[in-house]
Each structure stands twice: as C-alpha cells, then as structure tokens.
C-alpha cells in the first residue's frame, strides 16, 4: 500500500478514535457508570419518550433505510443503516413484553428486498393474531413499495400529508454495458452449465426467453403484494389492481384512496393509540441501539480489523450494488 494511502488510513483512524473518545465520555456521564459498563447481550435498549402512570407501555420501533438482510457496520462517514435481524428482534421483544400493550412502527424507507419485507409482514400479523397487540404504522417522509407492504397488515396506518408512499409493485434491474465494452475493446468470456446461468448479464443483450423467465418471477411476487393489500386493507382484488400500477402517492392521496387510515404526525399517532387502548396514560418507550463499553469495543474491533475501503464504507456500497434481485423498492 502506498504512503498516501497509509496516511489516509491513519487520518481516518485518528478521526474515529477522537470521535469514539468523545462519544464514550458523553455516554458515560449521561447514562451512569453501572449502566455504561453493562455487559448485556441485548442489542437494543428502551428510552422513555413520554412518561406514564406506570400501568404499561407503548413500544415505538424505528425502521429506517433500505429493507435488506445485508448489514455491515457503517463507515466513519456514514450513519447507521437498517439492521434486519435487530429489527425482527425488537418486534419479538415488544410482542413478548407483558408490559407492552401496543406497538408503533415508525417507517422511513423506500422499500427493499421481497423476502425481508415478507418476513416483517408475517411478524406483524403474528403479533396481532397471537399476542393480541395492536400494531400501528406511522409513516415518515417515505414509506414506499416494501415500506407499504409491511404497513398493509397493521391495524391502523397513518402518514403525513406529504409522505411519499405507494409504489406498489416489484422491480428487478441491472445495467447493460455491452456496447461500451465493445467500444473499449473489452470482451467477456463465460463458461456456464446452462443457457440461463448468466441471465441478466451486464455484458450482453437479454434474450426474449430470458425476459419471459424474469417477468414470470416479477408477476409472481406482484401477485403476492396484491394478496397482502387485499387482505390487510380489505380491498377487492380489482380495487388493488387499480391502485397497484407502481405509481407513488402523497399521504393525502393515499388517504383518499383508502391505502391508509388517517393523516397525522408521529406524536398524534401516539395520542391516537393511547385513546384507542383506553388503558390510561401509558409510558411510551422507543427501542434504540444499546450503547455501552461492550458496544464500543465491538465497533472498534470491526473498524480496526478492516481495510481502508471498509473505513470509508466503500466495500459495503459495492456489496449492496452487486447482482440483480427481486425488490419491493421505489427508485427514482
């Protein structure tokens, strides 16, 4: 590795250490020594948003970022992204906590993977049917495609009037660079076991047979999306088809179309759940990543034992942009 790259790595490491030290001392004085040195393996903790009268809780769980099951610790210049397994654990924890009487999922996502969205959807259905706990969804600035997929089974769904939602449909995409490669004198050699093994290759045109195969996959996932909305929103199938053409809706348009139950800010959704539950003044808590000495050491180890590309978050970016897959995702 060149001298310049070593300097860049050392500068990034120094910046990280200074930032970590500042964060550690801030957390130490704000949480207390005992809590800070807690070695609990729980990946998240509760933070009180609104104090109640002690009769129970409403749990707020945040879903931010693209819904996908490929999490890497963020680079030093990145914000923490969506962590699929941790999000599912938070749902389980709220479901199993006898003090939690209702759950609000604050959604801010353009959607994501078909499988991951389905897992969240099924978890919400289980919470409401098996644990008899209502789940409300509060949409943030965006809850499109997979973000709407997971909202559909919730007992009530709310959005801001300017929320971007809808985008009901499935997409699979890749880039074709065959003409550019030919101009640059670059050729691709592929050894494959079957005619469709390199389907959606970036270095050649797609055949009609390949397009038909992929369209069948898209149609199957689309019908599953329609099933979810038909069941969750009590629409007829024909009504869903009219709405599910891939277009986006504002919160106001979604409300008029019956895709959501009401318009309101996050704290108004909390107030609505308090009234609907009728259990008095419940304490409102939100789940957030646990922060203590073990967490710092874990993060530091992941950052130290990596290369400079990982420090900048480039490896994660490359990883997330490889390969085509079925997505409930809004892309602009």
Distance (Å, rounded) from C-alpha 18 to C-alpha 73? Answer: 18
Distance (Å, rounded) from C-alpha 170 to C-alpha 165? Answer: 14
> Which residue in the list 30, 40, 192, 197 is annotated as catalytic?
197
Helices (H), the chain: 3-31, 33-36, 84-96, 114-130, 146-151, 178-183, 208-233, 237-243, 251-257, 266-277, 293-304, 308-312, 314-320
Task: Return the bridge partners of 1, or none.
Answer: none
Closest CA to 134 of 85, 158, 100: 100
Task: Check if 145 is active-site.
Answer: yes
C-alpha distances in Å from residue 49, one per residue of 34, 82, 84, 197: 22, 21, 23, 52
> Which residue in the list 145, 156, 167, 221 is annotated as catalytic?
145
Cβ atoms of 267 and 60 closer than 8 Å: no
Beta strands in 110-207 (DSSP E): 111-113, 135-144, 156-159, 164-166
Distance (Å, rounded) from C-alpha 82 to C-alpha 150? Answer: 15
Structure tokens belonging to residue 9: 């790595």
Task: Check if 197 is active-site.
Answer: yes
Active site residues: 145, 197
């Amino acid at each position: 590795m060149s001298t310049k790259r070593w300097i860049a790595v050392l500068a990034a490491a120094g910046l990280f250490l200074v930032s970590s030290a500042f964060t550690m001392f801030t957390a130490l004085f704000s949480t207390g020594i005992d809590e800070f040195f807690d070695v609990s393996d729980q990946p998240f903790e509760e933070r009180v948003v609104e104090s109640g009268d002690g009769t129970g809780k409403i749990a707020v769980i945040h879903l931010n970022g693209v819904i996908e099951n490929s999490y890497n610790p963020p680079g030093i210049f990145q914000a923490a992204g969506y962590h699929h397994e941790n999000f599912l654990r938070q749902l389980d924890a709220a479901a199993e906590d006898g003090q939690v009487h209702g759950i609000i999922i604050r959604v801010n996502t353009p959607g994501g993977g078909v499988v991951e969205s389905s897992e969240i959807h099924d978890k919400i259905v289980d919470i409401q049917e098996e644990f008899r706990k209502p789940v409300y969804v509060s949409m943030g600035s965006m809850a499109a495609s997979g973000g709407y997929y997971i909202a559909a089974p919730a007992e009530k769904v709310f959005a801001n009037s300017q929320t971007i939602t809808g985008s009901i449909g499935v997409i699979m995409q890749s880039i074709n660079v065959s003409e550019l490669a030919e101009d640059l004198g670059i050729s691709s050699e592929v050894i494959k076991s079957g005619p469709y093994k390199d389907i959606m290759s970036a270095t050649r045109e797609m055949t009609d047979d390949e397009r038909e195969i992929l369209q069948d996959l898209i149609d199957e996932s689309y019908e599953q999306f329609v099933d979810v909305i038909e069941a969750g929103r009590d629409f007829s199938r024909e009504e869903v088809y009219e709405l599910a053409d891939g277009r986006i809706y504002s919160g106001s348009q979604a409300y008029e179309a019956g895709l959501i139950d009401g318009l309101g800010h996050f704290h108004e959704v909390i107030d609505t759940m308090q009234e609907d539950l009728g259990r008095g003044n419940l304490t409102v808590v939100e789940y957030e990543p646990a922060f203590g000495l073990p967490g710092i050491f874990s993060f530091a180890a992941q950052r130290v034992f990596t290369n400079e590309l990982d420090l900048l978050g480039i490896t994660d970016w490359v990883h997330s942009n490889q390969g085509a897959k079925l997505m409930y995702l809004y892309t602009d």
